[in-house]
């Protein structure tokens, strides 16, 4: 493993895709290998004015702000609210988030060896935008160009109906649109899509991709000189 700088990783995907589970599995895998890990949550450690934004969602958008469970479904109304005034306001805030993200990533790169895991990244902010709109896609390209690229960026794919059954918070139509947005961002940002599957199967794919990054590209085979 490269000891000169940490490996920077992000996990993204629709709610209920299993990000928290896979982050914990990867942390355990790395701990068993003796690799130190730092975890940064995008909402807690990166976004600007998180309390004001949460308060706006609760008071103005009437979002209950809770985390849905199968036993206690939630009715969130925040990123799924798509009125144009809200989208323009978010677009301005996302620029501030990216500027702060650049600072945080720069600081992370100054750390010793190890792994820094981002629980969500700027991709998750953009996936909530109406990416069917050309204007949103142009904006996304600008923000992606401003955002630091990480070493490995996972997007956990999931069937929206299955994900919502695990974590019932957002309307199913929004989850379908959001999943499509991640697929668009895959091409725009070079994201690594992890197919939906059982937790251990998904973990194996994540570890395999991580190991490929650590090992680097395979050396080209040497060619023997041609003799007459």
Average pLDDT over residues 110-129: 92
Q: Check the CA dihedral 22-154-129-99 and report its sign.
A: positive
Domain locations in the chain?
Answer: 7-215
Tell me which fold the domain 7-215 belongs to: Rossmann fold (3.40.50)
pLDDT on residue 4: 59
pLDDT on residue 182: 96
What are 37's strand-pairing partners? 115
DSSP string, 148-191: PPPSEEEEE---HHHHHHHS--S-HHHHHHHHHHHHHHHHHHT-
pLDDT on residue 110: 85
Token pair for 38 = 């730092």
Res. 225 pLDDT band, cuts 50 70 90:
very low
Helix (H, G, I), strand (E, B) or coil at 23: helix
Radius of gyration of the chain, Cα coordinates, nearest whole angstrom: 19
CB atoms within 10 A of CB 115: 22
CB atoms within 10 A of CB 198: 9
Q: What percent of the chain has pLDDT over 70?
A: 93
Average pLDDT over residues 192-206: 96
Token pair for 167 = 């974590």
pLDDT on residue 1: 44
Assess whether pLDDT exceeds 90 at residue 148: yes
Strands (E), the chain: 7-12, 37-41, 115-119, 152-156, 192-194
What contacts 123, CB < 8 A, 6 or more positions away? 10, 12, 153, 155, 182, 185, 189, 191
The secondary structure of residue 5, as a DSSP letter, is S
- Please state whether the predicted TM-score (pTM) of the whole model is above 0.85: yes
């Amino acid at each position: 493993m490269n000891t000169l700088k940490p490996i920077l990783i992000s996990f993204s995907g629709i709610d209920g895709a299993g990000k928290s589970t896979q982050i914990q599995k990867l942390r355990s895998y790395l701990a068993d290998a003796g690799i130190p890990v730092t975890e940064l949550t995008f909402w807690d450690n990166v976004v600007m004015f998180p309390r004001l934004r949460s308060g706006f969602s609760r008071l103005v958008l009437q979002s209950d702000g809770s985390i849905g469970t199968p036993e206690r479904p939630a009715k969130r109304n925040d990123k799924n609210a798509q009125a144009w005034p809200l989208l323009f306001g978010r677009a301005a805030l996302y620029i501030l988030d990216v500027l702060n993200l650049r600072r945080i990533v720069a600081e992370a790169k100054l750390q010793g060896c190890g792994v820094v895991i981002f629980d969500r990244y700027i991709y998750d902010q953009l996936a909530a935008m109406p990416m069917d709109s050309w204007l949103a896609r142009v904006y996304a390209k600008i923000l992606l160009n401003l955002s630091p690229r990480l070493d490995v960026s996972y997007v956990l794919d999931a069937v929206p109906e299955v994900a919502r059954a695990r974590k019932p918070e957002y309307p199913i139509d929004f989850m379908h649109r959001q999943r499509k947005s991640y697929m668009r961002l895959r091409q725009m940002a070079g994201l690594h899509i992890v197919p939906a599957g059982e937790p251990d199967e998904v973990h194996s794919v994540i570890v395999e991709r991580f190991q490929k990054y650590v090992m680097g590209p395979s050396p080209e085979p040497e060619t023997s000189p041609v003799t007459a």
